[in-house]
Amino acid sequence: MMKRHWGAVLLSLIAFLFLCNSVTADTTHAGDPALISIDIENGEYSSESILFSGIIEDDEQPSDVFWRVSKDGAEFDGGDMLGSLVEITSTSSREQWSWSFELTFSATGECACYVSVHSIDDDGLEVIENRVVFMVENNSTGLIGFLLDTDQSGQLIDSSMKVSGWLGTYPIGGVNVEITGSLAQGLIQSSHIPQSSICSEPSITAEAYQFPSGHFEIIWDISGKLDGWLEIVLIGCSSSSSNTEGAIHEFSIRVNNEPPVIKISGIDYALEDDIWHTFDATLTEDPYWGRTDMYYVWTLRKPSHSGTLPVDVIMGQDINIYSISGAQSGNYTLSLTVYDKGGLSSEQMVIFDIKNTVPTASLIIDGEQILDGQEFRISNPSDIQLDATESSDTINDASGLRCIWLLDNSPLYEGCERSLTWLEDDDYRAELTLEVIDDDGEFATISVMLIHPDEVKPFPIALVVFAFSTLFLTYALVNRFRGNNEQSIPKWKS
């Protein structure tokens, strides 16, 4: 049972984190996005033409497919491909179509040309696949192409940022990537193609990485950055100082180095009762990124009764309040783990006790309220009415109270309303004890000495002694009075 529970916990958590990390995906889309493959590699070059071909894969035919080509940051040509898609025998569970078009030097002129293939489905979800190729003349030199693998604009990133892509020159040579980060006001959306740039000596704030032409990957440390929007500028340049043509990508990310700061308010002690106690974590927040869209996992444990096994687990987005019934006594721990939108988490635990109240016993015999230790002479030994229903406890326990009756310390009955028959016996006295027990096993008792009506009343010794004492005192006083007033008492003669 518990195992299954934790399986569910893990699954929802994974699902949540997956959603967190794919902020750019359209979550309302039913299927997976389209897949575009292009047979041409980055860095291909030609002085005449390059034939682009490839495959589009999707659940159903896209509603629009086209290609575009840009150079120097500006789009200048392209064409529709929807009409010329050719359905092919699919190698996957989805449908596939082949496509092709030709890029000619006569149309592009000399360029580092960015060719993009676009597929838009019925839901408006657009998938773009890019290539950069060189259209060259005999004396072409200093051409540079720069593409990034993924669009990270707007993403929450902590610790370090991975930047990968393709950077290369024609003629082929060494390249370097310069990266700078600076405070931004908000989202700067990345463009899938770079703008032109002039390369100079890298600025002091920049970090530069050297590569040969081709695919590159940079792990850039952002662990020292404050949370907030950070503008990322990536400049790709040739390592050769004679080539000053560069390409630049700009976008902003959300630095998320700080885990959520958890604030919980609630009881640390309460008497058991039929009310609910609330733990309020609405003041929990993610530094800079705010209080919403966080994932809460509440885990209640009861070390006094069930050790480290959770007795309750509640989780979900923005579930920032937890309520517990005050009806069960125990020592509790309540752990809260909060995940921010970037998947960072914090945990806090509160400890609280709910204390049981001892019941109060009430005993009524034959309609008379009995005090503990009292003697009670019964009138009808064959039908003694015992009533403990007036016994009380906190409202959550009151209806579940147990009454145990003992006669001379031997258990006799259970039940809060009983009648007792005095069995024929030599004893004319018996001690009746009522124990009133609650669900925590705590109890209150009342004892009463029952006296049989046939018992002869013992001679009241104390009263007799008192009477004798009074008589003696009176005699002494009278004698003394007489002694003072009469001269008849003989006196010693010397």
Among 58, 121, 258, 387, binds Ca ion (CB under 5 A): 258
The DSSP letter of residue 21 is: H
Q: Is 484 helix (H, G, I), strand (E, B) or coil?
A: helix
Among 21, 141, 357, 447, binds Ca ion (CB under 5 A): 357
Q: Which residues pair with 174 in a beta bridge?
A: 212
Nearest residue (CB) to Ca ion, 103 versus 222: 222
**Residue 250 binds to Ca ion (criterion: CB under 5 A):** no
Task: Specify whether the CB–CB gap between 73 and 195 falls below 8 A.
Answer: yes
Query: Rounded CA gap, 335 and 188, in Å?
Result: 38
Ranges within 273-332 binding Ca ion (CB under 5 A):
286
Q: Which two tokens stand for residue 384?
A: 């003694």
Q: Is 332 helix (H, G, I), strand (E, B) or coil?
A: strand
**Residue 340 binds to Ca ion (criterion: CB under 5 A):** yes
Nearest residue (CB) to Ca ion, 22 versus 360: 360
**Residue 346 binds to Ca ion (criterion: CB under 5 A):** no
Among 116, 152, 190, 356, binds Ca ion (CB under 5 A): 356
Query: Rounded CA gap, 369 and 371, in Å?
Result: 7
Biggest distance spanned by C-alpha atoms of the chain: 172
Among 285, 387, 393, 435, binds Ca ion (CB under 5 A): 393
Taking CB under 5 A as the rule, which mask of x and - marks residues 99-118 in contact with Ca ion?
Answer: --------------------
The DSSP letter of residue 312 is: E
Nearest residue (CB) to Ca ion, 33 versus 343: 343
Number of shown-chain residues binding Ca ion (CB under 5 A) = 13
- Which residue has tokens 């806090």? 348
Q: How near is the Cβ of 229 to Ca ion at its closest, in Å?
A: 13
Nearest residue (CB) to Ca ion, 85 versus 358: 358
Nearest residue (CB) to Ca ion, 258 versus 435: 258
Q: How near is the Cβ of 38 to Ca ion at its closest, in Å?
A: 37
Nearest residue (CB) to Ca ion, 398 versus 471: 398
Among 324, 397, 436, 446, binds Ca ion (CB under 5 A): 397
Nearest residue (CB) to Ca ion, 206 versus 319: 319
Q: How near is the Cβ of 160 to Ca ion at its closest, in Å?
A: 15
Among 72, 77, 126, 440, binds Ca ion (CB under 5 A): 440
SS3 percent helix, strand, coil of the chain, rounded to 5, is: 10, 50, 40
Q: Which two tokens stand for residue 284?
A: 């929990």
Apex CA 471: angle with CA 467 and CA 472, to 5°?
A: 120
Neighbours of 235 (CB within 10 A): 24
Q: How near is the Cβ of 360 to Ca ion at its closest, in Å?
A: 10
Burial 362-388 (b: 16+ CB within 10 A, else e): bbebeeeebeeeeebebeebeebebbb
Ranges within 410-439 binding Ca ion (CB under 5 A):
438-439
Taking CB under 5 A as the rule, which mask of x and - marks residues 195-234 in contact with Ca ion?
Answer: ----------------------------------------
Query: Rounded CA gap, 232 and 244, in Å?
Result: 21
Counting every residue written for the chain, the total comes to 494
Q: How near is the Cβ of 11 to Ca ion at its closest, in Å?
A: 23
- Using a 10 angstrom Cβ sphere, with 0-12 exposed, 13-18 middle and 19 or more buried, the burial of residue 338 is buried
Nearest residue (CB) to Ca ion, 159 versus 164: 159
Stretch that binds Ca ion, among 218-226, 229-237, 333-341, 420-428 (CB under 5 A): 333-341
Count helices and strands in the chain by DSSP H and E runs: 5, 34
Interface contacts to Ca ion, rule CB under 5 A: 256, 258, 272, 286, 340, 344, 356-357, 393, 397, 438-440
